[in-house]
């Protein structure tokens, strides 16, 4: 839409408020609202001011004034507000220089797409994330100087088979057996459908929805692929809708990668393909019907995966999921059809347009603008430098003996380790000014001080089981 069309769209839908949304540095949507009379064509050039020093990882307090500039193509009506509200996704700029703010994650995604075009390798990157999430009935947690605990519950939880629910109706998915059972075992069919219908009203195309592997309400809704910045925008709308529909039904949704011990965590497999002039570039005559370009792209992802993990799996909790020998693909190998490899080549369709690679180690705790941009930059580095991904691994990695895995590299074992890899392997992200030294240094410092060190300083509840009597 043009700015003028947005104004007319707001009038047609009788909007009374306009919600301005933008992304903070770690990856949580922020917003403020203004009355609809503020919505004029000039707003899309002049913007609105806010305090950048109050946003995590952003400006110092002596340099706090920032502007949001709404993107007219992002306009949609919020499906949850009691009063009709138009939502606009914004870019962030400096009010003095009128330049894009270097730490605005959306700007980094836009620069990544511009850099792709400048390379002449391709003009479009399509990405299709498959985000998993849990829907719980209750969550409680606390952490202070003398205690720390969490407690989650779900009517679907296998641990509740013996609870007096007046009556307990059974049909609770067994651990690791929640994938695809029909109702009444799957109690979330209608809830997911409501999420899907709401997403469609907001302009997001959906391909499928289903229960996921874990007990206690693990779900997945798959969006149709789109270009990098657009799909990152959609990912934020997706997460917002999942959480709000759950809340509407007095439930709570989380994209935390590993909330339950002893069952599968939640990942976000990301399908990727390069195109040029409307032609798919990943189809060819090499392994699994890939082109040589696609193999080099895989080579770049595998080479830089330890550094990428700091952006694609960016929480300490991510590494409760990425544990060798369990369900998440931590070994850096590629394969067709084999879901135990960290990169898979889906074989559902013979169409060249459907040929893509699926990166399986990210999770939806990431900032999608940063994670998607970083994967593109790693893949492009592979293409530009003809990085050989090595031989594919078609064995089930989970059944291989330890000695067979010695030559297969793996992802970092912790966020701290991933951040160290990012410190030592960042040049591929700096190409074309897509990421900057300031952005990466700020990310590493923020993650170390606010998350890694914060976890180190606190005793874990299980440590009392292990050590209290020593």
Give catalytic residues, as residue numbers: 51, 130, 132, 212, 220, 269, 339, 358, 360
**Angstrom distance (rounded) from CA 99 to CA 109:** 16
Question: Hunting for tokens 């479009």 — which residue is that?
Answer: 124
| 49 in Cβ contact with 65 (< 8 Å) | yes
Beta-bridge mates of residue 210: 220
Tally of CA atoms within 13 A in the half-sphere of 365 that contains its CB: 23
* Residue 257 near residue 318, CB atoms below 8 Å: yes
Label each residue of the chain as H, E or C. Answer: CCHHHHHHHHHHCCCCEEEEEEECCCCCEEEEEEEHHHCCCCHHHHCEEEEHHHCCCCCCHHHCEEEEEECHHHCEECCCCCCCEEEEEEEEECCCCCCECCCCHHHHHHHHHHHHHHHCCCCEEEEEEEEEEEEECEEEEEECCCCEEEEEECCCCHHHCCCCCCCCCCCCCCCCCCCCCCCCCCCCHHHHHHHHHHHHHCCCCEEEEEECCCCCCEEEEEECCEEHHHHHHHHHHHHHHHHHHHHHCCCEEECCCCCCCCCCCCCEEEEEEEEECCEECCECCCHHHECHHHHHHHHHHHHHHHHHHHHHCCCCCHHHHCCCCCCCCCECCEEECCCCCCEEECCCCCCHHHCCEEECCCCCCCCHHHHHHHHHHHHHHHHHCCCCCCCCCCCCHHHCCHHHHCCCCECCCCHHHHHHHHHHCCHHHHHHHCCCHHHHHHHHHHHHHHHHHHHHCCCCHHHHHHHCCC
Pairing of β 343-345 and β 357-359: antiparallel
According to DSSP, the residues that pair with 270 across neighbouring strands are: 129, 359
């Amino acid at each position: 839409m043009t700015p003028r069309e947005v104004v007319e769209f707001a009038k047609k839908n009788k909007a009374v408020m306009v919600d301005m949304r933008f992304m903070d540095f770690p990856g949580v949507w922020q917003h403020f609202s203004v009355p609809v009379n503020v919505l004029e064509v000039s707003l899309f050039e002049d913007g609105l001011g806010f305090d950048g020093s109050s946003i995590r990882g952003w400006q110092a307090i002596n340099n706090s004034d920032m502007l949001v500039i709404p993107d007219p193509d992002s306009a949609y009506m919020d499906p949850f507000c009691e009063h009709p509200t138009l939502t606009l996704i914004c870019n962030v700029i400096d009010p003095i220089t009128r330049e894009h703010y270097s730490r605005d994650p959306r700007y980094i995604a836009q620069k990544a797409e511009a850099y792709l075009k400048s390379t002449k390798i391709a003009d479009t990157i399509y990405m299709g994330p498959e985000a998993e999430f849990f829907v719980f009935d209750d969550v409680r947690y606390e952490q202070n100087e003398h205690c720390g605990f969490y407690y989650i519950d779900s009517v679907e939880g296998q641990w509740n088979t013996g609870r007096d629910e007046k009556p307990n109706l059974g049909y609770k998915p067994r651990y690791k057996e929640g994938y695809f059972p029909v109702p009444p075992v799957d109690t979330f069919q209608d809830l997911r459908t409501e999420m899907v219908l709401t997403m469609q009203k907001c302009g997001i195309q959906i391909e499928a929805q289903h229960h996921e592997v874990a007990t206690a309400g693990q779900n997945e809704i798959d969006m149709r692929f789109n270009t990098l910045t657009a799909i990152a925008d959609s990912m934020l709308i997706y997460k917002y809708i999942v959480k709000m529909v759950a809340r509407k039904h007095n439930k709570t949704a989380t994209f935390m990668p590993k909330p339950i011990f002893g069952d599968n965590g939640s990942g976000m497999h990301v399908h990727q393909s390069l195109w040029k002039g409307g032609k798919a570039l990943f189809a060819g005559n090499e392994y699994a019907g890939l082109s040589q370009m696609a193999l080099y792209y895989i080579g770049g992802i595998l080479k830089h995966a330890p550094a990428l993990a700091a952006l694609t799996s960016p929480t300490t909790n991510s590494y409760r999921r990425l544990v060798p020998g369990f369900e998440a693909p931590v070994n850096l190998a590629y394969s067709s059809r084999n879901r135990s490899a960290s990169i898979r080549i889906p074989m559902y369709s013979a169409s060249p347009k459907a040929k893509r690679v699926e990166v399986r180690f990210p999770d939806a705790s990431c900032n999608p603008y940063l994670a998607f941009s970083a994967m593109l930059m790693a893949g492009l580095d592979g293409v530009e430098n003809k990085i050989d991904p090595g031989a594919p691994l078609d064995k089930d990695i989970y059944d291989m003996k330890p000695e067979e895995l010695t030559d297969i590299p793996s992802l970092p074992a912790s966020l701290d380790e991933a951040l160290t890899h990012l410190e030592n392997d960042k040049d591929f992200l700096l190409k074309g000014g897509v990421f900057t030294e300031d952005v990466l240094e700020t990310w590493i410092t923020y993650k170390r001080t606010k998350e890694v060190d914060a976890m180190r300083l606190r005793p874990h509840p299980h440590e009392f089981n292990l050590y209290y009597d020593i």
